[in-house]
Structure 1
Amino acid sequence: MVVVTVVALMSFLGVLTETSMNTTFPTLMKDFHVSLTAVQWVTSGYLLCAALVMLTSAFMKRRFTNRTLFTWAAALFIVGDLLCATATIFPQLLVGRLVQAGCVGFCTPLMVNIIMDVVPRSKLGTYLGLANVLILIAPALGPTFGGAITAFASWRMIFWLTLPLAVILLICGQFLIKQYTATSRYAFDWARFALLAAALTSLIIGLTAVGDGNWLLFGGLMVVLVASAIGFAKLSKTSTRALFSLTVFHQPAFLFSFLPYILLQFANVGINFLLPNYVQGVFAASSFVGGLVLLPGSIFNGLGQPLYGWLLDRFGGKVPLYTGAALFTLALGAMAGWGPRLGVVGMTLAYLVFAIGRSMAFSNSVAYGLKQMPKTLQSDANALYNTGQQVSGAMGTTVLALLMTSISRPGWHQAQIISAGSALAFGLLTASGLVIWWLFFKLLHAKTDY
C-alpha cells in the first residue's frame, strides 16, 4: 500500500489541478482575453490527452518498468506545472495542461496494474477501494481549492503549491517503486493508435460543435470518426504490433462490466455539472450553495470506497452491484419526477443517495470484472476501463448541457426552461440506471474464464 499510495497521490495531484481549473474559467477569460469556448479546452483537452495516454497503458506495462512510468508521469506533471504557472499567453497555459494530462494518463492505470500484480483476487475489491479514496476525494476538493486560491491569491498558485509535492513524490518513487513482472521489447502500433486518436478527438470536438450549433462541423467529424473506427477494425485483424488486445471484448466479464462503468461515469460527470446549475436556475440559489449541493455526496463518494470494496470481497458481486444500481436509479427517478418540489435540501439528499449508489457500483464493476478475467488480459482491460472513463466523462457534461436547454415554449422564463430540460436529462439517466441493472445481471451470470 505504500507504493500504491505514492502512485495514487501523484494521480491525485493531476485530478486536483484538473477540477481546480474549472472554477478559474471567468478569471482566465479575463486575463487572457479568450472566449468560453476556447478556455473550456483547458479541461476538455486535458481529458482527451489523458484518455489517449491511457490507451497505451497495456503496452507501457509490458514494455517499461513501473519506476520508469512513474518517473515519466511525475516529470510531465512538473513540466506542466511550470508551463502553467509562468504562462503569459493562453497557448502556453493550454500546452501546459496537455502536458500535465500525461500524469493522470500514466499514473491511474499504473496504480491498478501494481495492485493486480501483487494483490490476490480475493482482496482485489478492498485494495482497489483503498487506492481510489485518494483519487476520488480530489474532485470533491478541487473546486473548493481552486475557488479559494483564485479568490484570495492567484490561479497560478494552484500550480506553484502542487509543484513541491510533485517533486517530493518523484524522489520517493525512485526508492519505493519496484518491478513485479518481467518486461519485453515490443513494437508500438502507431497506425492503430493514430486512428483511435482521430476517432476520439473527432467525438469530443464534434460534441462541442453541437453545443455551438455548428451542425456542419459535427457531421464532418462524425464521418472522420466512422472512417477511423473502420480503419482501426481492419488494421486490428492483421496487425502484429502492440497496443492492446481486442480479444478482451470476447470476455463477457469485461463487456458487461465495461458498459455499466462508462454509463456510471457519464452520469456522474454530467450530473456534477447539471445540479449546481439546476439549483441556481430553478431555486435562485447562489453559486456557493450550488457547489455545496455536491459536497455531502462527494465526501461519501471518496471515503466510502474501502467499505464498498470490502462488501465485494466479503459478499460477492450481488450485494454491492445491485444495491448500488438500485440507489443510483431511485435517486435519479426522484430528481426526474419531483425535482422542482424537492428544493435545495431535497436535491442535496437525492444527490447523496445517487453518489453512494454510483460509487458502490462504479468501483466494484471494475473490481468484479477484473476478478473474472484471465491475468494475461487484465492490463488490456485496465487500459480500456480508464480510457472509457475519460471519454464518457467528457461526453457527460456536453450531452446533459444540451438537454438542459433543449425544451422551450413561448412565454417560458429561464427557470421553466431549465426545469423542463433537466427533467429530460434526469429521465435519460434514470433509463440508463435500468440498463445498468440488466448489464449487472448479465455480468453476475457470466462464465468465469480463469
Structure 2
Amino acid sequence: MNTPTSTAAPNSLKLGNVKRLPILISLIIGAFFSLLNETLLSVAFPQLMIELNVSASTLQWLTTGYMLVVAVLIPASALLVQWFTTRQVFLGAMIVFTLGTLISGMAPGFSVLLIGRLLQAGGTGLMMPVLMNTILLLYPPEKRGAAMGSIGLVIMFAPAIGPTLSGVILESLEWRWLFYVVIPFALFSIIFAFIYLKNVSQPTKPKVDVVSIILSTIGFGGIVYGFSSSGEGWDSPQVYGVILVGFAALLLFVLRQLKLKDPLLDLRAFKYPLFTFTTILLCIMMMTMFSTMSLLPFLFQGALGLTVYASGLIMLPGSILNGLLSPLTGKAFDRFGPRALIIPGAVILAVVMWFFTQVTAETSKMTFIILHVCMMVSISMIMMPAQTNGLNQLPRRYYPHGTAILNTLSQVAGAIGVAFFISIMTAGQRSYLEKSSDPAAPVELTEAMVSGVQNAFLFGFIFALLALAVALFTKRSQPPTE
C-alpha cells in the first residue's frame, strides 16, 4: 500500500554544506540534561515527604506523572516533526523543559512541583524522537552507527548518574538545588542551539487525526499508569481496570492507523522485518534493563544494608562504562555490522543474568560491581546497534514514525518490566516468609528479600535467553531504494 505524499517524512534539505557536529552537540546537550532529570529526584523522596507533608503514594505521582506525559507525547512526536522545523521543535521542547525546571525549583508545595515535573516531562517526551529523527536525516546509513552511539551515551549515562549525583547534592544542599543546578545548563543548551542548530527538514503538515491522538493518549497512558500503579496490588480495579481500558484503546488505535491515509503512527513500518525484530529485541532489553536497575537497589538496601548513596556508587562504574562504550560500539557497528556486536552482547547478558540468580546476602560488593559492569557492557553492544540497524531498513518517509514507535514501546516496556519484576520479587518474599518459623526475624527478612530477588532474576534470565534467540535473526540491513 503506497503512502500518500502528505504522509511523507519531512523533506530533507540540501545538507552538503551543513556542519553536522554543531547540530549533534546542540541536540546531545539538551537531551543529556532532560534525561538526567528522569532519575535525579528519586533519591530526594524521603526528604520531600517530610518537607511537603505528603504520603509516599501521593509523592509517587512525581514519577508516574512524568512517565505518563512522556508515554503520551512520544507517539505525537511523529506528527510534530512533520508540522514544525527541527529548530522549532527542539527549542520549544527545551524552553518547556527549562520552564518546568524553574517552576519545580521554586515550588511552594506539592501541586506546583507536580506541574513543574509535568512540564519537564513534556520537553523530555519530544527530545529523543527529534534527536533520533535528525540523525537519520543528517547522516548516511554507513555513518549512522557512530552518531547513534553518541546518542547511546546520553540515553544510558544521563539517567544512570542521576541517583549518584542527587546523593552528592543532597549531602550539603536542599532538594531545590536538584533543579537549580540544571537551569544554567538548560539555558546554555537553548543559546547554543539557537546559534548552531540548523534545520535539516522541511515541514509537510499532514492531516491531524484528533481521534488517533485521543486513542493514543488513553492507550499508552492507561497502560503505563496501570502498570506503574501495580504496587497497590494486581487485584485493584485501579490497576487491572485501567490496563484493560488502555489495551482496548490501543487496539482501536492500531486498527484506525491501518485504515487512515495520514496515520499518527504509520504502523506499516512493521512490514520491514529487521525493524520488527529490532522492536521486539529493544522491548525485551528495556524490560530487562529497567527491572534490573530497580531490583538491585532493593537487594543492596534491603539485604546488604547499604545506603542509597552507596547503592548508587556500586552501579556507577557500569553506567559510566556503558556511556563511554556507546560511541565505540557505534563505530564498530559501521565497520563490522550488527551481528558482531548484538549476538555476543546477548550471550554476555544471558550469562550475567544467570549469575544474578545465584547472588546471596554474602555476595561481595566487588562481585556486584563486576556483574553490573558486564551487564551494562552487553547492553551497549545491543541497544544502539540494534536500533540503528532496524531504522536503517526504513524508507525516509517512515523515519519519524519508526523513531516514535521505538521510543514509545521502549517506555511502555520499561514500565511493564519494572512492575512485573517487582511483583515477582514481592511474591517470592511473601512465599518465603509464609514458610518461615520466625517471619519477623531480621535474618529471615533478609533471606526473604534475597529469595524474592533471585526469583525475579530467574525470569530476567529467561528474557535474556529470548533476547538471544531474537538476536540470532539479526543481519545487516540494506537501505531501501526510495
With the shorter chain as reference, the TM-score category is over 0.9
2:451 corresponds to which residue? 420
Structure 1 residues 234-243 or 275-284, which shifts more?
234-243
Q: How many residues align?
A: 450
* Residue aligned with 2:181, SS: helix
Q: Deviations over 1:387-427 (max 9, x none)?
A: 12222222332222222221223325211211111111111
Amino acid at match of 2:301: Q
Deviating 4+ runs (over 4 angstroms): 338-341, 445-450
2:72 corresponds to which residue? 52
CA spacing shift, 1:289–1:163, aligned 2, 3 Å: closer
Asked whether the equivalents of residues 49 and 56 of structure 2 are also in contact (C-alpha less than 8 Å), the reply is yes
1:443 corresponds to which residue? 474
- Partner of residue 171 from structure 2, selected from 134, 147, 151: 151
How far off its partner does 1:331 sit?
0.4
Distance 1:61 1:77 in 2: 18
- Partner of residue 376 from structure 1, selected from 381, 386, 397: 397
TM-score by length of 2: 0.89
1:113 corresponds to which residue? 133
1:406 aligns with 2:431: no
2:255 corresponds to which residue? 234
Distance 1:211 1:123 in 2: 44
- Partner of residue 98 from structure 1, selected from 98, 118, 131: 118
Distance 1:60 1:400 in 2: 34
Q: Deviations over 1:154-180 (max 9, x none)?
A: 111122221122122212212211122
TM-score by length of 1: 0.95
2:209 corresponds to which residue? 189
| Identity in percent | 27
Amino acid at match of 1:274: L
CA spacing shift, 1:71–1:33, aligned 2, 3 Å: same
Distance 1:446 1:140 in 2: 30
Structure 1 residues 331-340 or 107-116, which shifts more?
331-340
Amino acid at match of 1:119: Y
Within 5 Å, give how 1:301-450 maps onto structure 2: 301-340=322-361, 342-407=363-428, 408=431, 409-411=434-436, 412=439, 413-444=444-475, 449-450=480-481
2:183 corresponds to which residue? 163
- Partner of residue 78 from structure 1, selected from 93, 98, 101: 98
Amino acid at match of 2:445: Q
Asked whether the equivalents of residues 258 and 267 of structure 2 are also in contact (C-alpha less than 8 Å), the reply is no
How far off its partner does 1:86 sit?
1.3
RMSD (Å) for aligned C-alpha atoms: 1.9
CA spacing shift, 1:22–1:242, aligned 2, 3 Å: same
CA spacing shift, 1:266–1:91, aligned 2, 3 Å: same
CA spacing shift, 1:448–1:252, aligned 2, 3 Å: farther
1:251 aligns with 2:272: yes
Asked whether the equivalents of residues 65 and 118 of structure 2 are also in contact (C-alpha less than 8 Å), the reply is yes
Asked whether the equivalents of residues 331 and 353 of structure 1 are also in contact (C-alpha less than 8 Å), the reply is yes
1:272 aligns with 2:293: yes
- Partner of residue 199 from structure 1, selected from 205, 219, 222: 219
2:13 corresponds to which residue? none
CA spacing shift, 1:147–1:337, aligned 2, 3 Å: closer
- Partner of residue 52 from structure 2, selected from 15, 20, 32: 32
How far off its partner does 1:59 sit?
1.5
